Every structure is written in C-alpha cells, then in structure tokens.
Amino acid sequence: MTPIQPIRGTRDLIGEDIRRHRQVIETARRITETYGFEEWVTPIFEDTRVFSRTLGDTSDVVTKEMYTFADRSGESLTLRPEATAGICRALVSNGLTQSLPQKIFFSGPMFRYERPQKGRYRQFHQIDIELIGRSHPLADAEVIACGFAILEALGVAGEIVLEINTLGDTESRNAYRAALVSYFAAHRDALSVESRARLERNPLRILDSKEPADQEILAEAPAIGPHLTANAAAFYEGVKEGLTRFGVPFRENPRIVRGLDYYSHTAFEFVTTHLGAQGTVMAGGRYDGLVAEMGGPPTPAVGWAAGIERLAMLLTEAPPALRPVAVVPVSAAVEAASVDILRRLRAAGIRAEMEYQGNLRRRMERANRIGARAAVILGEDDMARGAVQLKDLASGAQEEVPVMELVGRLL
C-alpha cells in the first residue's frame, strides 16, 4: 500500500526539531512569567465570525488564508489563524472585561492556507502575549521589552532588529489615508494589480506590499509623521521613551503597518536578515478597538505574536537531549531487583532506561547507543552485597556503589 503523505505545509516535530521548539516555548513561558503574564489556552477552532469580524474584510488572512468549514450541524468554524481575536473573545465570554488589566501568555498551533516555503507553513506555531486594559505608552514599551528579553534569553537578539512605527489615532489615520490615496492615485498605473485593488479598500495596506512592481513607488510614499494629531505624536514619543528606559534598541520604520485591520498607534516588527524572505520573527502593536468588536466595552490593549518555527531556526544549536542512565541486569535472576533500581532512579527525577534484551555485550552496546551517561550494572553477587557496579560510559571507569547511595551519586 502506498504510504499516506503528510498534509502540504505541515511538519512533524521530532528529535532536534521538537527540542528547539520546546526551548522557545519554555524560555518564553519563563520570561513572560517574570513580566507578570499568565498563560491562557483557548480552543483551536472558533466561530468564523471571531476572525471575519475583527481581522478586516480586506486582510490577506481573511480573504485568502483561513481554514473555514461547516461542521456537521452546518455551523461555520475556522481553525484559528492567529491568537489575539480568540483571546479577546475569551476575555468577553469569561466576563473578564471588568477585571483589568489582564496579562496573557499564549502558545499553540495556527493555521493559514499559504504557499509553503522555508519558514512559512500551513500549520505553524506562535508564542503570543497580550496586555489588555492599559492605555499608557509604558504598556506598549513593556510588552515590546518582554519580547526583546525572550530574544535575548534565546541568544538570538544580536541578529534581530526592532522596527517601530505609529499608525496614530483615528483622526491621524484618516488624514494619512487621504494623503496616501492622492499619492497612490497619481501613480495608479504603475501599481501592482493587488495594490490597485487595495487603493479603494485599504490604502494603508499598500505600504505592506511585497510586490516588486510597487517598491519604487513605496520608496517615495508620504509618511504618517506630519499627519499625527498632537495626542498621537505624544503617545508615540512616550513609547520610544519607554523603550529607552527598558533598554530596548529600536529603529523607526514608517513602512510598518501590519497586515491586520485592528491596529492603532504602535506597530512594530522584530526582523532579521538571516531567514531569507521570511524575515519577520515577532510582530505586534496596539489594538484598542478589538475587544469592542468582540462585543465587549471599549478596551485598550497591546500585544505581539512570534513564529516559533522562525525562532527555532535562529537558535545556533539545538538543546541536547537529556542523557539517561542505563540499568543493565546481568541475568534474569536480577531482573526484579533491577526494576526496583529503575523505579528508584526515576522517582528521584533521573532519566533512566533498562536494557533487558540480549546478552550482556548487547545490553552494553545499546546503553552506549542511546547515549547513556552511565550504566548501572547489576550481577547476582552485587545483589547479594546490596551494591551495583556503576560504570561511567565516557571514561570507562567502573566502581562498586551501595544501592542506598546510588541516587545521590547520579543526581
């Protein structure tokens, strides 16, 4: 029978891949905890409206990338393409909109129907934090600083640059949109087909275009700066000042607009040149309108998401697998006593394996093959003395150790 293939754009995480993946999640979990974030887990699928209402009708995610299907009762469900909308839905569903701030850490799989390539998959994974209920610019700075601290703890911060921008408040954005429309309209014929469509529906998105045809026009496009209201400009200054206080280096990039509709004020991306075209590793911003879109009260919020696969690729080395201790009974007569020792080691938190097939030579070969750091060899004479032979598999040195002292020697 022909073997069944994995779904295009999905990956199995095995061996080094899952160790890298876990390293990212565990580091993020540890750092976000020190910043006061609590972990939430929300469902992998949601009512389609959770995303269609909030991400914007013109976003790539909603128009081209969602895995949407009718379940057996005919309800339209969507495999989550991102975390923020589901978290805001959960905030409202659980009546937490009056218990603010909420600081949330999240990690899990996401689904987008995209063209698979290195660093771009149809099932991928994100870590994500959200700070909901704070409108002070220090909230933005703290959220970004937490992301930076994770990149530092992973040892990848040196290859990554933080780029920030502001999208202003509604008034600033309306003025900016008008300026962009008149600029792009003057260059309409030179724009890519996609960008021409965006010109009517969402001109800000053109700034996000990766089409080669658009790049020259984009280079001369107006920036938002002159269109910011005094409030929006002051907010942006506050964020930059906060970043400096938190010791986070950044570069301003007026091109950063983010792909989703719900952002206002701060927008940022941590980018690298080490991952080819998939250079954005962590991205986010302020989204003061989203909780209200979900049926809650107007609630300020700021957050980011990062691709675990992209971060995992940047780790210079995979964390090593934990090396076990091999328990090796010499004969069937000592098997029961060996199981006792095995249980004792495991109960003490020591990774331990028992070799129970083949002759002694075979058992020792296998202990070496699984990368054991030591072998606990038990013979009938040893058992009678209440001792084992402890062999260091790197040096070959062997000595007799009383069973009662074994755990202490291996911890």
DSSP 324: P
Q: Report the residue number, 32 or 97, with the smaller CB distance to ligand ATP.
A: 32
Return d(Cα 302, Cα 130) in angstroms, integer.
6
Q: Report the residue number, 127 or 376, with the smaller CB distance to ligand ATP.
A: 127
Q: Is 307 in the site for ligand ATP (CB under 6 A)?
A: yes
Q: Report the residue number, 82 or 355, with the smaller CB distance to ligand ATP.
A: 82
Cβ at position 119, least distance to ligand ATP in Å: 6
| Window 235-294: residues binding ligand ATP (CB under 6 A) | 259, 278, 280-283
Q: Report the residue number, 166 or 272, with the smaller CB distance to ligand ATP.
A: 272
Cβ contact 46:86 at 8 Å = yes
Cβ contact 61:81 at 8 Å = yes
DSSP 64: I
Cβ at position 307, least distance to ligand ATP in Å: 3
Nearest to 268 by CA among 160, 185, 360, 357: 160
Q: Report the residue number, 120 or 227, with the smaller CB distance to ligand ATP.
A: 120
In 210-312 the beta strands, taken as DSSP E runs, fall at 251-252, 264-272, 280-286, 301-307
Return d(Cα 335, Cα 354) in angstroms, integer.
10
Q: Report the residue number, 97 or 280, with the smaller CB distance to ligand ATP.
A: 280
Residue at shortest CB range from ligand ATP: 307
Binding mask 102-141 for ligand ATP (x = CB under 6 A): ----------x-x----xxx--x-x---------------
Q: Is 163 in the site for ligand ATP (CB under 6 A)?
A: no
Return d(Cα 199, Cα 170) in angstroms, integer.
18
Cβ contact 232:238 at 8 Å = no
What phi and psi values does residue 336 have, to the nearest 5 degrees? Answer: -60, -45
Q: Is 306 in the site for ligand ATP (CB under 6 A)?
A: yes
Q: Which of 305, 342, 374, 376 binds ligand ATP (CB under 6 A)?
A: 305
Cβ at position 283, least distance to ligand ATP in Å: 4
Cβ at position 289, least distance to ligand ATP in Å: 17
User: Strand pairing partners for 303?
Assistant: 130, 285
User: Strand pairing partners for 107?
Assistant: 127
Count residues near ligand ATP (CB under 6 A): 19
**What are the percentages of helix, strand and coil residues in the chain, rounded to 5?**
40, 20, 35
Q: Which residues bind ligand ATP (CB under 6 A)?
A: 82, 112, 114, 119-121, 124, 126, 259, 278, 280-283, 305-307, 309-310
